[in-house]
Structure 1
Amino acid sequence: MLDLLVTGAVPPEGGGPVDIAVKDGRIAEIAPRIEARAARTIDAGGNLATPPFVDPHFHMDATLSLGLPRMNESGTLLEGIRIWGELKPGLTPEAVKARALELLDWSVARGTLAVRTHVDVTDPALMAVDVLLEVREQMRGLVDIQLVAFPQDGLLRAPGGKELLVRALDKGVDVVGGIPHFERTEEDGRHSVRWLCELAAERGLLVDMHCDETDDPASRHVETLARETTRLGLEGRVTGSHLTSMHSMDNYYVSKLLPLMAEARLHAVCNPLINIHLMGRHDTYPKRRGLTRVPELLAAGVNVAFGHDCVMDPWYPLGSHDMLEVAHMGAHCLQMMGTTGLGRCFEAVTHGGARALGLADYGLAPGRAADFVILQARNPVEAIRLRPARLFVVRRGQVVATTPPVRATLTPDGQPPREVDFTPRRGPGCERP
């Protein structure tokens, strides 16, 4: 007998509805019709079944700390960093853990079942590292969590930065991080990239660097990151996050840079919500969007993922860890509104993130882990448009979150009530996309 049978689900690639059979925490079969007994059966009703959402770039040690000790009234990256520096001395393990666990409850309810979170390792006590290692273990049954050793104050700028980062890795942090554009000089930034990549190669670890998160077109540390990746044989294991300076670079230089990134098989993470908020702050008009060149990266063969980055912290006052909101913002700000572009935005919060994290057991396919989400939408484009209810969130074959379908009831005076679900009625000119 099956543990779970989902009937009438539409996969992201489209086609007719399929049934999904789950046994022992894995997908046993996907077929147009499966006749089998199951401990639990879910009727998807022609709604979309998708692999879980993946957030490849987040800051869980700062999440839900909005207003502590003050608000970021300028809305700039640098004021956010200053506020975080003011907040850090008063952080307690209990508060950091409570906020992280609350955020992860939101994540699961939103169908986000894999998160890569950067954790500040410039605190000599490494308190947040210890806390998030506990959180990772406590939430293992619900969410896959990767921790990045992130030297927020600069690997070389922070006292003992190298030693602290190594200590964090020794404690069990998964990924080597960096912030080369925040070092004191360009040369210090290049040195930090080389040192960090060599450390990752020595330890067999992945790399994910905040890279060129600036409007300055001369910030070109991603070039060094690509070169060190190929020099050290780290192809496919390195991620450059933000890469916002690429928005301001001249086209000739980018025409050289893109093949270097593709050769290194770099992963690129764009954070549409936060980058559109923080970048372009020194501009009057014209005002730059400050997002990296996602369509060009994709055309060059670079894997692109979208991250949420922040929720209610010194850098961003909004958010609920909804990765479809991230895809929605990305589609607008990157002008990816065609059918192909919208599909790539959906992929950037699912398979693109999974590739960046190296999740080998990910996807809707027989034999894979039974992690998936049933959305109140018929296809990925509708999912981005509506950011709909996650009707069922399934983790290792168990339903771990449910949300009732969202419908409104109109009661016009003198007319029968009628229901609205924000999807076009079928008929000429009203077919679903």
Structure 2
Amino acid sequence: MQIVNARLRQRPELYRIEISNGLFTDITAQDSPQTATAEQLDAGGKLICAPFIEPHIHLDAALTAGEPSWNQSGTLFEGIERWGERKPLLNEADIRERVLKTLNLLIGNGVQFVRTHADTSDPSLVGLKTLCALRDELKDKIDIQVVAFPQDGLLSYPGGDKLMEEALEIGADVVGGIPHFEYTRELGVASMKRVIELAMKYDRLVDVHCDEIDDPNSRFLEVLACEALFNELGSRVTASHTTAMHSYDNAYCSKLFLLLKRSGINFISCPTESIHLQGRFDTYPKRRGVTRVKELNEAGINVCFAEDSIFDPWYSLGNGKLLRTLDFGLHICQMMGYQDFSSALSLITDNSARTMNIESRYGIEVGKPASFNLLEGEDDYIVLRNQGDVLLSVRHGEIIMQREPSRIVTPPWIG
């Protein structure tokens, strides 16, 4: 495959890109636009971008909103209750059907890498087993990392620690945690130490639902970051949500950010879900309840965006469009300057690749797998502003999704 007249992020020139045996073999700037031959793909001056990444989603719960009842309060904790009612109805066929539908949504919107959490607060571990099986079956179509996630607590849920080890033995890629949901502060701290211990024992990554609460006294992030620092695991550790940070005072954050930067841990924010779930106990002023994405980014700390849920007990919308999440996230986090816009796609591409530890096989560089999206727009800003479609998604040199550009027909009286 050879592509001509392509734009690359942060570069003004047009490029010719050659692909052979599923790898990028040459990327050369063009002196001028070229007329494509029948054997070439004409990008038409549109943006070639590394594939989108969904670094935080719950595929085992996707498409279950309202089953058997709806989350009426909109709170995180009622969502957990509603999911607790749905869990007894889980079986392999049910999970497979919903996961495949959700993955089709994601692939259709340019996503080629997914990190999904699987609830281990279930003695059958049917969700985790099914997701690990699908990960292996679909590896030629999409990359999936499975997080062993103790939804009801690693140490507070009866047998939670044993189930976590069983999940890692089965083959989960990532160790999860939820310290703010443990019964006590002491159990939350102990759970963070245990998560790091298990990650080292089984040589796994870490991704913790950390301080997903409005409580300014929920400060397990400092424990996770400290354990990551002391055990030199920073780049392999991720703190998801960290919404309590929105309620921390600036004096504490000034100290916290020093630790976060030294630790080297990653952050995932799920802005549409967080702004929906958090601040539910406020009247006015009402907190946004989203972590300090702008400040983390400006401090050089790796942070990325995720959708989190698609039609489940915590969030009854969602459609697999990460460009929607990016658009909302920039608004919510007040990242509305031109510099924010001009590098916006990094929040759903490069930063996410770093979080998932896949940088060695990700990106548009000679010698790396030829996986990319062709976007309707010339640069990050235009794609973001117009919410441009993903026109083409190529994985290892093979087209996996293609759509025609949208076309608006205007009435004749418009000049």
Q: Pick from 16, 19, 26: which aligns with 1:19?
A: 16
Is 1:256 the counterpart of 2:255? The answer is: yes
Name the counterpart of 1:349: 348
Alignment-derived partner of residue 365 in structure 1? 365
Q: Distance in 1 between matches of 2:77 and 2:57?
A: 18
Q: Indicate the SS of the match to 1:408.
A: coil
How far apart are the structure 1 equivalents of 2:382 and 2:315?
Answer: 26
In the TM superposition, what whole-angstrom CA distance separates every residue of 1:45-90 from its partner, at most 9, and x where no partner exists?
Answer: 1111100001111101001112211121211111111000000001
Q: What is the alpha-carbon distance in structure 2 between the residues aligned to residue 185 and residue 320 of structure 1? A: 36
1:31 partnered with 2:28: yes
1:71-150 alignment runs, 5 A limit: 71-150=70-149
Q: Is the 8 A contact 2:109 2:321 kept in 1?
A: yes
**Quick check: 2:24–2:368 contact (8 Å CA) kept in 1?**
yes
Residues in 1 aligned to 2:288 and 2:342: alpha-carbon distance in whole angstroms: 22
Percentage of identical aligned residues: 42
Q: Distance in 2 between matches of 1:105 and 1:141?
A: 14
- Scaled by the length of structure 2, the TM-score of the pair is 0.96
1:276 counterpart = 2:275:
yes
Question: Unaligned regions of 5+ residues in structure 1, if any?
Answer: 419-433
Counterpart contact for 1:155–1:161, Cα < 8 Å: yes
| Partner-residue secondary structure (3-state), 2:409 | strand
Write the distance in 2 (CA, Å) between the matches of 1:314 and 1:343.
35
Equivalent residue number for residue 46 of structure 1 = 45
Distance of aligned partners of 1:161 and 1:107 in 2 relative to their CA distance in 1, 3 Å threshold: same
Secondary structure of the corresponding residue to residue 9 of structure 2: coil
Q: Which shifted more, 39-48 or 80-89?
A: 39-48
**Structure 1 residue 41: deviation in Å?**
2.4
**Deviation by residue 1:85-122 (Cα, 9 ceiling, x = unmatched):** 00000112101111101111111111110011110011
Q: How far apart are the structure 2 equivalents of 1:181 and 1:134? A: 30
Return the offset for 1:33: 3.8
State the 1:178 CA deviation: 0.2
2:399 aligned partner: 399
Indicate the SS of the match to 2:351.
helix
Contact 2:168 2:202 in 1 (8 A): no
Q: Work out whether residues 259 and 300 of structure 1, in 8 Å CA contact, stay in contact via their aligned partners in 2.
A: no
TM-score (normalised: structure 1): 0.92
Q: How far did 1:298 drift?
A: 1.7
CA distance in 2, matches of 1:186, 1:362: 39
Q: Which residue of 2 aligns with 1:424?
A: none
Superposed displacement of residue 381, structure 1? 1.2
Q: Say whether the 8 Å CA contact 2:294–2:334 is kept in structure 1.
A: no
CA-CA distance at 1:14 after TM superposition: 2.9
Contact 2:344–2:380 (Cα < 8 Å) also in 1: no
- What is the rounded CA distance, in whole Å, between the counterparts of 2:66 and 2:5 in structure 1? 45
Structure 1 position 340, deviation (Å) = 1.5
Q: How many equivalent residue pairs?
A: 412
> Compared with structure 1, are the counterparts of its residues 339 and 19 closer, same or farther at alpha carbon in structure 2 (3 Å cutoff)?
same
Any conservation in 2 of the 1:64–1:313 contact (CA below 8 Å)?
yes
Displacement after TM superposition at 1:40 (Å): 4.7
Q: Secondary structure at the match of 1:194?
A: helix
Counterpart of 2:396, as a letter, is: R
Could you tell me which amino acid in structure 2 is paired with residue 25 of structure 1?
G
Counterpart of 1:15, as a letter, is P
- Distance (whole Å) between structure 2 residues aligned to residue 385 and residue 200 of structure 1: 40
State the distance in 2 between where 1:33 and 1:105 align.
Answer: 35
Structure-2 separation of matches of 1:216 and 1:294: 18
Tell me the residue number matched to 1:429: none
Following superposition, the deviation at residue 235 of structure 1 comes to: 2.2
Write the mapping of 1:289-368 to structure 2, written as runs, cut at 5 A.
289-359=288-358, 360-368=360-368
Distance in structure 2 (CA, Å) of the matches to 1:339 and 1:366 = 30
Say which SS state the counterpart of residue 116 (structure 1) adopts. Answer: strand
Deviation at 1:142, TM superposition (A): 1.6
Cα distance in 1 between the residues matched to 2:298 and 2:147: 28
- The Cα shift of 1:300 comes to 2.1
Deviations 1:290-333 (A, max 9, x none): 11111211222210011110011111111111111111011100
Shift of 1:233: 1.9
2:376 corresponding residue in structure 1: 376
1:357-393 CA-partner distances (Å, limit 9, x unpaired): 0012111111111010001111111211222221110
> Could you say if the C-alpha distance between residues 39 and 131 of structure 1 is closer, same or farther in structure 2, counting changes exceeding 3 Å?
farther
Report if the CA contact (8 A) 1:198-1:232 is conserved.
no
The 3 A distance-change label for structure 1 pair 46 and 344 is: closer
Paired AA for residue 296 in structure 1: E
- CA distance in 1 between counterparts of 2:267 and 2:207 reads 9
The one-letter code sitting in structure 2 at the alignment partner of 1:120 is: D
Contact kept, 8 Å, 2:13 with 2:30, in 1: the verdict is: no
Taking the aligned partners of 1:368 and 1:118, their CA distance within structure 2 comes to: 27
1:391-433 CA-to-partner distances (Å, cap 9, x unmatched) read 1100000111011110110234xx5x88xxxxxxxxxxxxxxx
Q: Distance in 2 between matches of 1:40 and 1:167?
A: 51
Change (3 A) 1:39 1:234: farther
Partner residue, 2:219:
220
Give the match's secondary structure for 1:258.
helix
C-alpha distance 282-40 of structure 1, shift in aligned 2 (>3 A): farther
- Report what 2:193 is aligned to: 194
- Take 2:372 and 2:388, find their aligned partners in 1: how far apart are those partners? 15
Q: Is the 8 A contact 2:342 2:379 kept in 1?
A: no
For residues 254 and 66 of structure 1, the distance between their equivalents in structure 2, rounded to whole angstroms, comes to: 36
Tell me, yes or no, if the aligned pair for 1:331 and 1:337 is still in contact at 8 Å.
yes
Deviation at 1:19, TM superposition (A): 1.5
> Separation in 2 of the partners of 1:288 and 1:356?
27
Shift of 1:39: 9.1
